Amino acid sequence: MKTRIKELRARYNMTQEELAKKAGVRRETIVFLEQGKYNPSLRLAHDVAAALKSKIDDVFIF
């Protein structure tokens, strides 16, 4: 699944580690999400989107 996590992270000047802490996951999970190599659960998608102050649809491209 493609995502706009990297772009949104850059907009908010946030590192992968900071985003991981905000979303309550490990940094490697953020890496895999950014690379589109992991399909998150709805809860994780929500948490990541909330950490990036965006809607799920704006972060994850279905």
Partner 1 sequence: MAQKERKTSGAKALSQRSLYVILLAAVLYMVAAYLNFFTPDADASMVSIIVSMATAMVAVGIFRAWQERKGEPLADERTILVHRIAVGYSWWFSYVVIAVLLLVNQFKLATLNVEGVLSLVFFTMIASLLLFRFYISRQEVLG
Q: Which residues bind partner 1 (CB under 8 A)?
A: 20-21, 24-29, 32, 37-41, 43-44, 47
Tell me the residue type at 37: K
Q: Which two tokens stand for residue 42?
A: 């709805």
Residue 51: CB minimum distance to partner 1, A: 11
Residue 11: CB minimum distance to partner 1, A: 23
Residue 34: CB minimum distance to partner 1, A: 13
- Between 25 and 59, name the residue whose CB sits nearer to partner 1: 25
CA-CA distance, 53 to 48, in Å (whole number)? 9
Q: What angle do CA 4, 26, 46 make, to 5 degrees?
A: 45
